């Protein structure tokens, strides 16, 4: 049975948090809100508990987890050789949606790091997450709290839809704010490399680091063939709803028109179509359900609504989803990375 604990996002009930921390210490799995998406936590020092995360999610065991700490001063308990640049980034962005890939110390079980000699670490910016880590008194390994491959959860309801009965508890602290995962940044080399775009943008990193590179795998849709991606998670299809997703991207003035054309064609062939749009006036006909993700000019809102919209279409039981691409400026880069990874087909106009 999965316990459901409702807590205030800012001032969570300490008794509940302590109970949740104890559940982690006992080797249990607790889902909890962070500022990005909901995470599924286990005691990072307990390999057996961590292996339960992989079982519950159906996650490939070669995809390592992010270790969550209560504050940056704990980082040397799991990582070594921390450069001045890494420290500057922690000072600027922690607590917050930036995960740093650092040299490991070997203290963590292989289940967490997938046997790599590096470790991914972050301090989340959420009172419930921080309270839970403190209560447990150990680093907490936590991927997103969804079935592997499906859209990440931004509410406790999403977590239960995927994992009810498979985990010990979920802390419901309301919707996650950012809506997409943390930025994963490899700081083991001279120039930091973004392995996964997320809540902290490349220009924000550049302002501190002076330079930043984007791993070439970031904006490709199918990296199944990449033999040794720098972030193991990159080789899997991700973030995908149940229905096949067609992504229409390219010239901003043309995507809306092409979206309408494709959606109408699908509807005429008898399919139930979900349209995920950012263009204001779209001319749709037939059995088409439209969800507006938000305004093109406001990637923060697009990110916050993305996963919930994809899950919404699954609940409605559409046969196909046609989604409109957006600019890769700011948080738009993370949104487009997720859409491309989720897509079965990409049409460029
Ligand atoms: P998730 O936990 O689902 O948000 O995914 C965590 C992401 O961080 C995955 O894409 C992992 O491959 C990546 N990751 C975790 N640890 C490492 C590491 N040591 N080196 C590179 N990427 C990592
Ligand atoms: Mg995930």
- Given a cut of 60, is residue 115 above it in pLDDT? yes
Confidence category of residue 235, pLDDT binned at 50, 70, 90: low
Q: How many helices (H) and strands (E) does the chain have?
A: 10, 16
Confidence category of residue 229, pLDDT binned at 50, 70, 90: low
For the chain, give every domain's residue range. 3-214, 245-348
Terminal-residue alpha carbon distance, the chain: 49
- Given a cut of 50, is residue 21 above it in pLDDT? yes
Rg, the chain, Cα only: 20
Alpha-carbon dihedral angle through residues 108, 181, 251, 276, given to the nearest 10 degrees: 130
What residues have a C-beta under 5 A from ligand 2, the ion?
143-144
Average pLDDT score over residue span 12-31: 98
Cα 97 to ligand 2 centre (Å): 14
Using a 6 Å cutoff on CB, does residue 118 contact ligand 1? Answer: yes
Ligand 1 atom closest to Cα of residue 59: 3
Sign of CA dihedral 91, 47, 31, 186: positive
pLDDT tens digits for range 116-172: 999 999 999 999 999 999 999 999 999 999 999 999 999 999 999 999 999 999 999
- Given a cut of 50, is residue 94 above it in pLDDT? yes
Q: At what angle do helices 299-316 and 156-163 cross, to 10 degrees?
A: 40
Q: What pLDDT, on a 0 to 100 scale, did the predictor assign at position 259? A: 94
Phi-psi region of 70 (alpha: psi -120 to 50; beta: other; left: phi over 0): alpha
Residues in Cβ contact with 234 at an 8 Å cutoff, skipping those fewer than 6 apart: 195, 196, 215, 217, 218, 223, 226
The ligand whose atoms approach the alpha carbon of 183 most closely is: 1
Query: 3-214, what's its fold?
Result: DHBP synthase (3.90.870)
Using a 6 Å cutoff on CB, does residue 184 contact ligand 1? Answer: yes
Nearest Cα residue to 143 out of 173, 113, 177, 187: 113
Q: What pLDDT, on a 0 to 100 scale, did the predictor assign at position 226? A: 44
Using a 6 Å cutoff on CB, does residue 116 contact ligand 1? Answer: yes
Q: What pLDDT, on a 0 to 100 scale, did the predictor assign at position 232? A: 63
Nearest Cα residue to 307 out of 295, 319, 321: 321
pLDDT tens digits for range 293-322: 999 999 999 999 999 999 999 999 999 999
pLDDT tens digits for range 273-292: 999 999 888 888 888 999 99
Q: What pLDDT, on a 0 to 100 scale, did the predictor assign at position 220? A: 75
pLDDT tens digits for range 213-224: 999 888 776 544
The ligand whose atoms approach the alpha carbon of 141 most closely is: 1
Bridge partners (DSSP) of residue 140 are 43, 68
Cα 148 to ligand 2 centre (Å): 7
Query: 245-348, what's its fold?
Result: Rossmann fold (3.40.50)
Token duo for residue 221: 């849709």
Pocket probe mutation, ligand 1, options 115, 181, 196, max atoms within 8 Å of Cβ: 196
Q: What pLDDT, on a 0 to 100 scale, did the predictor assign at position 238? A: 72
- Given a cut of 70, is residue 231 above it in pLDDT? no
- Given a cut of 80, is residue 233 above it in pLDDT? no
ω into 95 cis (within 30 of 0): yes
Using a 6 Å cutoff on CB, does residue 309 contact ligand 1? Answer: no
* pTM, full prediction: 0.95
Residue 278 in contact with residue 293, Cβ under 8 Å? yes
The torsion angles phi and psi of 190, rounded to 5 degrees, stand at: -70, -45
Nearest Cα residue to 96 out of 180, 199, 14: 199
Q: Is 186 exposed, middle or buried (0-12, 13-18, 19+ CB in 10 A)?
A: buried
Cα 144 to ligand 2 centre (Å): 4
Using a 6 Å cutoff on CB, does residue 174 contact ligand 1? Answer: no
């Amino acid at each position: 049975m999965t316990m459901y604990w409702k807590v205030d996002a800012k001032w969570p009930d300490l008794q509940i948090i302590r109970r949740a921390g104890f559940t982690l210490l006992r080797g249990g799995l607790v889902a909890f809100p962070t500022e990005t998406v909901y995470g599924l936590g286990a005691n990072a020092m307990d390999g057996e508990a961590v292996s339960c995360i992989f079982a519950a999610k159906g996650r490939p065991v070669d995809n390592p987890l992010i270790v969550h700490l209560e504050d940056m001063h704990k980082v040397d308990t799991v990582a070594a050789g921390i450069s001045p640049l890494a420290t500057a980034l922690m000072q600027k962005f922690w607590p917050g949606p930036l995960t740093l890939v650092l040299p490991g110390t070997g203290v963590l079980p292989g289940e967490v790091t997938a046997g790599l000699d590096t470790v991914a670490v972050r301090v989340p910016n959420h009172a419930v997450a921080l309270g839970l880590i403190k209560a447990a008194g150990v680093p907490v390994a936590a991927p997103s709290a969804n079935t592997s491959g499906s859209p990440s959860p931004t509410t406790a309801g999403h977590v239960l839809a995927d994992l009810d009965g498979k985990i010990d508890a979920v802390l419901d602290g309301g919707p996650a704010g950012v809506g997409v995962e943390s930025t994963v940044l490899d700081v083991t080399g001279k120039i930091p490399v973004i392995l996964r775009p997320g809540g902290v943008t490349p220009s924000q990193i550049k302002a501190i680091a002076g330079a930043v590179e984007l791993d070439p795998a970031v904006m490709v849709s199918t990296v199944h063939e990449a033999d040794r991606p720098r972030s193991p998670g990159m080789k899997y299809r991700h973030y995908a709803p149940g229905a096949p997703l067609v992504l229409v991207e390219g010239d901003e003035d043309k995507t809306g028109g092409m979206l309408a054309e494709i959606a109408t064609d699908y509807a005429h062939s008898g399919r139930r179509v979900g349209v995920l749009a950012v263009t204001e006036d779209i001319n749709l006909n037939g059995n088409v359900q439209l969800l507006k993700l938000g305004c093109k000019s406001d990637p923060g809102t697009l990110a916050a609504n993305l996963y919930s919209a994809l899950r919404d279409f699954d609940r409605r039981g559409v046969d196909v989803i046609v989604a409109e691409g957006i600019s890769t400026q700011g948080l738009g880069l993370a949104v487009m990375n997720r859409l491309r990874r989720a897509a079965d087909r990409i049409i460029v106009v």
